[in-house]
Amino acid sequence: MGTRITTEILGEVPALSAIATDLPVTTSWIRGGDGLIGFGIYSKKTLKGSTRFTDASAWWREERSKFTIENNVHGSGTGPILFSSFAFDENEESELVIPEIIVGRKGDKAWITWIGDTPQPKLKKYISEPSHPALTYSQGGLSDAEWMERVEQAVTRIKSGELEKLVLARDSMIHSDKTMDIARLIQSLESEYPSTWIFLVQNLIGATPELLVRLSKSLVTSRVLAGTIRKTGDEARDLSLAGSLAKSSKDLEEHEYAVRSVAEALSPYCSSTNVPDSPFVLHLANVMHLATDVTGVVNESATPTDIFTLLSALHPSAAVCGTPTEKAKRAISELEGMSRGRYAGPVGWIDARGDGELGIALRTGLINEQGDGARIFAGCGIVAGSNSADELAESQAKLIPMRTALATL
């Protein structure tokens, strides 16, 4: 008999981010109050290399084979869950985590899953007082001026015909005089950015607006974001800016590359795909994006396709890498001046049926092992019409979510 996994319905529960157990919070995937939050670690795996997606699939299959699952709830996201955070580059380390306790909610239904023969774990209300840390900031791999110079180099390469689009990222370092409360950080991000997915896997935490892939039975969905404008806080002015974003040739060009890369990646695995004719404007707390939801139906008659196969096909998309992909990856290595780690890689969850949701790790911070510092990231899509000063301003806007959340601790 294998390790026992039990899933039971819960009664009324507070917000997922307001729940605590005797184990520390280790994983999350929360949006608009729904999602999953995990406590403790039952098992974990670090992997890297060109076969990391198939290796992750094999490891999850092997772990599932050890379980005796008693699921009285059923449905997507119930039962044992694998949380995954993949590196952007295949040569860097990716992380897989199976939590000991998982609490989930979807609409008016809530459930708890736990591993072992113990009785159902007791849930507590998470209570924390602000610690008001003193934060200090320092440069990451490149200064503002150096990064702007790299943007200009990228534009030159694009205009020469070497590339169509290139995504350049940058980082910034934050140090705190107090240990960072990760549970409180989740609450802060959820409060400020409710329309994003609040994720946590192995100290990588963030609020991503971009869903790389959702697989629900045979339906595939991918939300593509590319093309950004900063909000002013003035409602009338922001409405006007949204209109200009929707008509901007530079942003529409950038968006088209990203949508095309996703649609082409999904096409071999789907019997049908749907790509809207034009994007919509997604309004977030501090920025607006051009957004398109690409959908498809997995071709059941083809070779069986799991979510890891789709990840392998989709990553990296033009939204975080560029076009053409291989040339863009080489240019990133030459120009960016840093290691991305798990920033801009797929992050999310997969259940025992193969359903799951994985976003792109954006608006992200990596908390250090001591818990008193973080490395935060932002990236911008560069095309022929890009201006280095505008891209710098956009990158600064994309750093705001993590800076603001850390400041509220």
Model confidence pLDDT, tens digit, residues 372-405: 999 999 999 999 999 999 999 999 999 999 999 9
Residue 237 lies in a domain: yes
Which residue type, as a one-letter code, is found at position 319? Answer: A
| List of residues 6+ apart from 330 with CB closer than 8 A | none
Distance CA(347)–CA(204), nearest Å, equals: 9
- Per-residue pLDDT at 167: 96
Per the structure, the count of domains in the chain is 1
State percent of the chain over pLDDT 90. 88
Contacts of 290 (CB under 8 A, 6+ apart): 225, 226, 227, 228, 245, 246, 251, 252, 255, 279, 280, 281, 282
- The reply to whether 167 falls in a domain is yes
Residue-level pLDDT at 1:
65
Q: Are β-strands 3-10 and 67-71 bridged in parallel, bridged antiparallel, or unpaired?
A: parallel
Classify strands 204-208 and 356-360 as parallel, antiparallel or unpaired. Answer: unpaired
| pLDDT tens digit sequence for 60-110 | 999 999 999 999 998 999 999 999 999 999 999 999 999 999 999 999 899
Distance CA 14, CA 185 (A): 17
Core vs surface per residue 249-280: b (16+ CB within 10 A) or e: ebbbbbbbbbbbbbbebbeebbeebeeeeebe
* Residue 124 counted as domain residue: no
Strand partners, 354: none
Please report, for the domain that includes residue 346, its CATH number. 3.60.120.10
Q: Is residue 128 part of a domain?
A: no
The per-residue pLDDT for 33 is 92
For residue 123, tell me if it sits in a domain: no
pLDDT of residue 319: 87
Please tell me the predicted confidence (pLDDT) of residue 11.
Answer: 87
Q: Given pLDDT bands bounded at 50, 70 and 90, which one contains residue 350?
A: very high
| pLDDT at residue 13 tops 70 | yes
Count other Cβ atoms within 10 Å, centred on residue 361.
Answer: 31
Share of the chain above pLDDT 70, in %: 99
In a domain, 95, yes or no: yes
221 within a domain of the structure (yes/no): yes
Residue 381, in any domain of the structure: yes
pLDDT tens digits for range 19-33 = 999 999 999 999 999
Residue 223 CA neighbour count, 13 Å, CB half: 18
Range of the domain at 189: 3-116+133-407
More confident residue, 218 or 200: 200
